[in-house]
Amino acid sequence: MPWELKSDRPIYTQLIEYIELMIVSGVYPLGSKLPSVRDMAQEAAVNPNTMQRALAKLEEDGLIITHRTSGRSITEDESMVAKAKTKLAQQQISEFLEKMQLMGFDQQEILTIIDNMVKGMKK
C-alpha cells in the first residue's frame, strides 16, 4: 500500500480519505487495532501532527475509537461502517455522473463507455 499523496490537496484530507477507504473496504476490519500515530505517520511519510489531525477527524466521524493510552481501533459498529460506505459510494457516483454530463456526454454514452471500460479491466 503506497500512500500515494499528491501535492494538489492538503495531505491530511488525503489521509482521511485513504484510511476511510481501508475501513469501508474491510482492509482494516471491525474492531481491529490501528498502529500508533507515530508508526502510521512514518509509514505514510508524513509528520505525526498531520497524521494525528487525520485520525482525529475519523474519530469525530465515529469510524475510529481512541483509547487514551493504548492506541486506537476501528469501531465495532458495523452499521457505522456500512453507512460510511454507502455515503462514499453515492458521493463518488453523483460527482462522476455530474461531471460527465457537464462535459456533454448523454446518459446512453456514459453507460456504454463504462461498460467498455469495465470489460476492459482485468478482473
- Contact set with DNA (CB under 7 A): 10-13, 34-39, 45-50, 52-53, 55-56, 59, 66-72
Coil/strand/helix, residue 72:
strand
Residue 25 as a binder of a second copy (CB under 8 A): the answer is yes
How many CB atoms are closer than 10 A to CB 16? 19
Query: The C-alpha cell of 41 is what?
Result: 505517520
> Count of residues for the chain?
123
Name the residue nearer to a second copy (CB basis): 38 or 89: 89
Minimum gap (Å) between residue 68 Cβ and a second copy: 30
What track of x and - describes contact with a second copy for positions 27 through 66 (by CB under 8 A)?
Answer: ----------------------------------------
105 binds a second copy (CB under 8 A): yes
How far is 100 from 94, CA to CA, in rounded Å? 10
Crossing angle of helices 11-24 and 48-60, in 10° steps, is: 50
Tell whether residue 94 is a contact of a second copy (CB under 8 A).
Answer: yes
